[in-house]
């Protein structure tokens, strides 16, 4: 009985809201989309449409904008403090994740990165 009453209450609330207001009442769509599309791939980086090379882990990754900026800052800091090598190298921006994934696959199949991370 209590479940039936809850459903009626929710139904009456949603009927009184516009479609957009109902979506916002459930969750913020932008936050949900980011949560679903920009999954953490390491403890630092989230998945996205920006290609980087992680010099520490020796692999390419498609990361989001914040992660791309983090990578660029790490590179800048390693140059500024004259560290021996870079921990990260930002490469390119793509229109979407799928394009980045395709480029990531192609470049990882044919590129040797030995000199890529040297300052």
C-alpha 65/C-alpha 47 separation (Å) is: 9
Residue 117's pLDDT is: 76
Tokens of 84: 């021996």
SS3 82: coil
Residue 10's pLDDT is: 52
Greatest Cα pair distance, the chain, in angstroms, is 69
Residue 96's pLDDT is: 92
Count Cα neighbours of 46 within 13 Å in the Cβ-side half-sphere.
11
C-alpha 75/C-alpha 89 separation (Å) is: 6
Residue 63's pLDDT is: 95
Judge if pTM exceeds 0.85: no
Q: Mean pLDDT for each 10-residue chunk of the chain (119 residues)?
A: 54 51 58 66 87 88 94 85 77 94 88 69
Residue 31's pLDDT is: 62
The residues near 117 (Cβ < 8 Å, ≥ 6 apart) are 53, 55, 85, 86, 87, 89
Tokens of 23: 């979506």
C-alpha 58/C-alpha 56 separation (Å) is: 6
């Amino acid at each position: 009985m209590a479940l039936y009453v809850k459903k009626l209450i929710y139904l009456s609330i949603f009927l009184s809201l516009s479609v957009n207001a109902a979506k916002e009442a459930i969750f913020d769509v932008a936050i949900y989309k980011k949560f679903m599309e920009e999954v953490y791939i390491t403890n630092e980086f989230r998945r996205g449409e920006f290609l980087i090379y992680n010099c520490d882990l020796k692999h390419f990754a498609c990361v989001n904008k914040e992660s791309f900026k983090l990578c660029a800052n790490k590179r800048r800091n390693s140059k500024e403090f004259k560290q021996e090598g870079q921990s990260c190298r930002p490469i390119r921006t793509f229109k979407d994740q799928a394009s980045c994934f395709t480029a990531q696959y192609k470049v990882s199949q044919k590129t040797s990165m030995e000199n890529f991370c040297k300052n």
